[in-house]
Amino acid sequence: MTSDSIKLIFIYSGAFAERVIRNLINDPSFCKSCGLLCDSCKYGVYSHVQSIRAAFEIPDPAKLPAFIEKPEDYLPSNMPKADVCVASGIHKDLLLELPNRLNACGIKGLIVPVEDFNEVPSGLRRQVEERCIELGLECAFPKPFCCLKPSRDKPLISRFVLELGIGRPELEITVTEKGGVEIVESAVVRRSAPCGSTWYVARKLRGVETRRETLHDGIAKAHHSYPCTATMSVDPEAKEPILHIAGFIIREAVEEALKRKIGL
């Protein structure tokens, strides 16, 4: 980890952001994929703890007034120098005020994961995005977080994806033959979903037949077992539950890896 690596702060309520943080720091008690048979495929491989400058947990929106007259009173007043803020599960009025506070603190990027459209409805997203553009802040509203990809017009957010290795999943898969059937021999994570689910899915794919139906069943079972925390309510824009979108993303990542498969 170098001194010029990307620096983050988190402003959040709820368990989702804590999952992302624990995945980023590679908390050794986080992944339970293998139980007693853990082979440490993840632990010791990376740690981005030095990239996280602060994590501010703020009150659950349900415990705050429906309308907040002075949202700045609920946001952290002293933020350390950082490049990007990840905001998750915060009150709508606080989210509207957040670009102003970030700009005042010299933070130039904002990522707002949308795991539940009720937390960040489209109208609110547009308002926050417009304010970010006015202030010269990069912003992204990935729905779900695991769809986030690098983009030429967003260099800071691209650094977030590329340097930390989180965003839209990427894997490398090797295959072998067993009993005349092609199976997954290993699945190596090159980029994980921010919540860490890709590591879980990759581990559960070992030994799974690559035949389409069997493979899809294996991916879906692992993805649901992790479990994915995106909502099962139908998103009014996507016309699909966000959880299903996340499931399609990891399925596509596995299929893309199989096209580049090594073995046999």
pLDDT in tens, 184-194: 999 999 999 99
Which bin fits 36, alpha (ψ -120 to 50), beta or left (φ > 0)? Answer: alpha
Quick check: 264 pLDDT over 60?
no
Strands (E), the chain: 8-12, 52-57, 84-88, 109-111, 138-140, 170-178, 181-191, 234-235, 240-241
Nearest to 131 by CA among 103, 160, 90, 111: 103
Classify domain 8-164 at the CATH topology level.
Rossmann fold (3.40.50)
* Cα 199 to Cα 147: distance, rounded to the nearest angstrom: 16
Give the model's pLDDT for residue 1: 44
**Beta-strand relationship, 181-191 and 234-235:** unpaired
* 170-259 CATH pick, 3.30.390, 3.10.450, 3.30.2390, 3.30.310: 3.30.390
- The alpha-carbon radius of gyration of the chain (Å, integer) is 19
Give the model's pLDDT for residue 261: 81
The tokens for 188 are: 């190596």
What are the extents of the domains in the chain? 8-164, 170-259
Q: Which amino acid is at 126?
A: R
Q: What is the mean pLDDT of residues 150-171?
A: 97
- Partners of 262 in the beta sheet? 174
* Cα 89 to Cα 57: distance, rounded to the nearest angstrom: 10
pLDDT in tens, 206-245: 999 999 999 999 999 999 999 898 999 999 999 999 999 9
Read off the pLDDT band of 67 (50, 70, 90). Answer: very high
Q: What is the pTM of this model?
A: 0.94
DSSP summary character for residue 5: S
Mean confidence (pLDDT) of the chain: 94
